[in-house]
Structure 1
Amino acid sequence: MSYYDRNGHPIDRDEFERLADDRVYVRVGATELKSAGPPETHFMVSTVWTGVDTGSREIFETLVTKNGEAGEVTRYHTLDEAGEGHNSVVGQCMLDLGVGAKTVREIPAEET
């Protein structure tokens, strides 16, 4: 198994474990959204650095949950792709929620 830092540089397991314990380092973005309701629908979009090469060097991923149920996962190669991907997924969720949808909040890493 290979490990990479957020800049895509190879790191050893000890460095990976140190970085993986740092919530601020791991978090790329977390956004909570909700519909105007009723019925009220919540989306949580979370993008993180995984640092683990699964064979394609996609070391970031975005997970979308809808009403607490895990859904689609999208993976990225670079921090820039992950940031852009996060924003794109948030935009798509806003469209899915429809008129009156709003961003509840951007969640700081310290709260997770």
Structure 2
Amino acid sequence: MGEFIEIKVNVDLQTKKSLNNIVHEKYNNKHEDFYRDLIEKYLQSQIPYTELNFAMGISYLTKRKLENLVRNNKKVNVILIGTMVFSREISFELAKKTLNSLKVYGILICNSKMKKELISKHILI
């Protein structure tokens, strides 16, 4: 069993009543379960969500697609059989924020500086 710590939170009376109602209705008066779930959900929201994308054919990666991933706090692992084309407007910093890993079985079309950076940071495998 893991180590336990005690956490104290000071809240006003109205907030305490609201929390107690939630715990009573949804957690059968088990306060530990409620606070454990609350902390887990908060921690999960702070960690970027990673998904796996597999594709065959030609894939064109745009700045807009990567910016959407950043907005949604997502990182992707991409496996592609075919051709991957990076838009010229994509910076390495943006690619690093959104690509967890990239495996291309085929042709990767991007500028040589981007390719070197992706390899050096172990993103391009």
Same topology, TM > 0.5: no
Q: Which has the higher contact order (CA 8 A, sep 6+)?
A: 1
Give TM-score scaled by structure 2 length: 0.23
Q: Whose helix fraction is larger, Structure 1's or Structure 2's?
A: 2
Give TM-score scaled by structure 1 length: 0.25
Q: Whose strand fraction is larger, Structure 1's or Structure 2's?
A: 1
